Amino acid sequence: MTQKRTFTILILSACAFLMAQAQDYTIYVNPFIGTQTDETGALSGSTFPGATMPQGMVQLSPETEQMVTWDPCSGYDYNKDKIYGFTHTHLSGTGCTDLFDVSLMPTSSEVTPEQLAAADFSQHYSHNAEEAHPGYYSVYLQESGVRAELSSTVRTGIHRYTFPEGKEQTIVLDLDRGTFRGQAYYSGRRSYDIIQSQLRIINDHTIEGYRVITGWAKLRKVYFRAEFSRPFNKRLLMDGSRNAGKSDVVNGRTLRCALSFSPADSRHLTVKVAISPVDVEGARKNMKAEASSWQFDAYTKAAHDCWEHELKRIEIEGTDEQKTIFYTGLYHVLMQPNTMSDVDGRYMDTNYEIKQMPAGQTYHSTFSLWDTFRAAHPLYTLIAPEVASQFVRDMILHHKTYGYLPIWDLWGQENYCMIGNHAIPVVADAILANLPGINVEEAYQAMIESSTRTHLNSPFEIWEQYGYMPQTLQNTSVSITLEQCFDDACVAAVAKKLGRMEDYERFHRRSLFYRNLFDPTTGFFRPKDEKGEWIEGFDPLSYEQPCFVEGNAWQYMWFVPHDPQGLISLFGGEKPFLKKLDENFSLTATSGEINGNASGFIGQYAHGNEPSHHTVYLYNFAGRPERTQELVHQVRTEFYRATPCGYAGNDDCGQMSAWYIFSSLGFYPFHAGSAEYVLGTPLFQRATLHMANGKDFIITAKNKTPERIYVKKVRLNGKPLKGFTLTHQQIVDGGTLEFTMK
């Protein structure tokens, strides 16, 4: 509901509205970008090509795997040639996998009990007979000859199946698909299993049910209601190999049904599947509110229009390839965080209680914060403040029930994936940017408590006692030390703004603890034990140092975004700092280890994973902005392509995309959470940001050609810009940013 109001507000921005009449930005979105691993098999955006609305609860997409284990975590690999089913929930770009609820798959033959028990209805497909654009996906399934088309509302998946003339028409609904079972390697979880599920035939065109499942999200309850446009005249209901016979309800853990439709009636079958994380009544209400019609094309058009309103928040002038990368990126950024409340506002909180949002408000989840605090959340704050403030409100709700702000919030629950407390920069950004709708006192309280209440991977007594994380007391101690300093700096900045000077002093002091792990002898951040001694066996190239997470000492060396001058001075000034930074981008030596997370290399710089993302902008702080400009150009040219393997690593819920969007506009949230940006180099001759307040911020690049990547001068609203920093306020006030290229 709020979703729709948001779009309305945007439509009222007259300028954007009028321009939107002339342009269609959805044509530049290629949902296949990021779905393919490259020739080495190592890199994948892990995105999915299916149909979704912005922040959709339902994200309806095909799986190319019988059981999804790791890569791609989205369930779809462009290199595979078979589709196993269409499920209603997915993660985009993550490095762990979960969801895949309520699978539908059509066949054009009768399904026997033995076949249903075997549960493999996979069929070949070809990319030539596959199509995807925002809110629409379609594929031709070769064995059955069925064309499958998918669309979606926020909480309801819409399917249209076109069967070949005169053939059987069967739909297999599988509640046991998409998950691998058994030991899970995810933080804190041991088993990954369906706890219980139900399928119930309501009448000859309606099925309801649910599954309760434990996995990466510790406990998910997914209720659904499926309505079919035509009556089924036969149905087979089974739990594993147990046939439920004439029973119209089956309970168990491996539930499937096969529904047969009369070929004489029509070749077309439309199916609507609404889901709810609360109860089946929630699913019914969601369908009633969002999907009362049977007009498949109307859903496709509504989804298209909705995406169009979203995408035109930023208008660029560029080549078709640039627009494709840019708008697909924006699409990937805006897919999540996902809607987690029903239309009636009910949701399951972090403590598994059912709660009620105030009327008209929506609760969200999927906060991949170790990734997205860097650029995705700053992008929400900048171009979609009305949803950004909802995300912050939802993080504060998470804090209220759970005790601290989310680390990685999936399906409304904490899974502790990765490290740090990187909701803090997001909340800080919201406060410093004066986002409307934020309860600043509550937000500040949440930041403070999340920075002082010891929790998993955040032992704050140890932090304050030692002034660093001793590796002997806390694993991944160097990474945590660096990232915690950054979070602390964000708290300090907000404390200062609010005049809480005691807090400011405490957190500012903490934000400098990174210095205690810098070893001037080796010129790296290194792990210490609790006696303060360096731990031996340090190898800066190695990815298997337990003091780092998903990176080596080179990649983590630069993570002091809140105090670059302090970092420079650790090296003894700009010159030695620049020598080391240059080496970072040129040293091609490797430890020989295979690391699934580091990819997209320029020397030790690894664009394929997040710790590097701000690093190219560091040259600005040491007087060499042209090197930043070169590297920004190199990264966006080499590591982004308008092809299915267009990303250099996981898109990570839009972070990889958000880097591109900022970096092609010409600035980047180097210090996320500060409501400030540093300059890079623009890619487009002209870009317009339609702010939510109705104002436009227009970025132009004079003399821009593909070859001209260096910035000669910059004027803000006609006056020379001092320094290389742009504030959030300067942008949202509207105006012009004129680059002149050389």
What SS3 state is found at 270? Answer: strand
Least distance CB 623 / its own copies (angstroms):
43
List the one residue from 354, 436, 532, 706 that touches its own copies (CB under 8 A): 354
Q: How far is the CB of 260 from its own copies (least distance, A)?
A: 18
Using rule CB under 8 A, residue 454 touches its own copies: yes
**Which one of residues 12, 15, 129, 249 is an interface residue with its own copies (CB under 8 A)?**
249
Site stretch for its own copies (CB under 8 A), options 288-296, 450-458, 570-578, 660-668: 450-458
Tell me: does residue 112 bind its own copies (CB under 8 A).
no
Among the listed residues 9, 11, 129, 456, the single contact to its own copies using CB under 8 A: 456
Three-class HEC string of 609-660: CHHHCCHHHHHHHHCCHHHHHHHHHHHHHHCECCCCCCECCCCCCCHHHHHH
CB atoms near residue 415 (< 10 Å):
21
Window 484-543: residues binding its own copies (CB under 8 A): none
Beta carbon nearer to its own copies, 223 or 621: 223
Instruction: Tell me which of 248, 533, 583, 593 binds its own copies, using CB under 8 A.
Output: 248
Q: How far is CA 83 from the centre of its chain?
A: 24
Binding region for its own copies (CB under 8 A) out of 347-355, 557-565, 604-612, 667-675:
347-355
Residue 412 in contact with its own copies, rule: CB under 8 A:
no
63 binds its own copies (CB under 8 A): no
Instruction: Pick the piece of the chain touching its own copies (CB under 8 A) from 17-25, 102-110, 251-259, 365-373.
Output: 251-259
Q: Looking at the DSSP assignment, which residues form a beta bridge with residue 257?
A: 173, 237
Among positive and negative, which fits the CA dihedral 277, 279, 284, 289?
Answer: negative
Of 119, 226, 278, 598, the one binding its own copies (CB under 8 A) is 278
Is the Cβ of residue 75 or residue 420 nearer to its own copies in the bound state? 420
Our CB check for its own copies shows the closer of 147 and 346 to be 346
Cα gap 316→646, rounded to integer Å: 20
Query: 655-692 as b/e, with b when 16 or more CB fall inside 10 Å?
Result: bbbbbbbbbbbbbbbbbbbbbbbbbbbbbbbebbbbbb
Of 244, 369, 665, 699, which lies in the binding site for its own copies, with binding defined by CB under 8 A? 244
Does 223 help bind its own copies (rule: CB under 8 A)?
Answer: yes
Query: Does residue 218 belong to the site contacting its own copies (CB under 8 A)?
Result: yes
Q: How far apart are CA 612 and CA 610, in angstroms?
A: 5
Length of the chain: 742
Pairing assessment for the beta strands 408-410 and 413-414 based on DSSP bridges: antiparallel
Rounded Cα gap, residues 681 and 703, in angstroms: 13
3-class DSSP assignment, residue 209: strand
Cβ(703)–Cβ(685) below 8 Å: no
The reply on whether position 252 binds its own copies by CB under 8 A is yes
Cα–Cα distances (Å) from 59 to 86, 292, 346, 610, 653, in that order, read: 10, 19, 20, 25, 13
Smallest gap from residue 394 Cβ to its own copies (A): 18
Contact assessment for residue 663 and residue 416, using Cβ atoms and an 8 Å cutoff: no
Residue 352 found at the interface with its own copies (CB under 8 A): yes
Least distance in Å: CB of 461 to its own copies?
A: 4
Nearer to its own copies, 179 or 657 (CB): 179
Q: What is the enclosing helix (H) or strand (E) of 567?
A: helix 564-570
**Residue ranges in contact with its own copies by CB under 8 A:** 188, 190-191, 193, 195-196, 198, 200, 210, 212, 214, 218-219, 221, 223, 239, 242-253, 278-281, 351-354, 402-404, 413-414, 452-456, 459-462
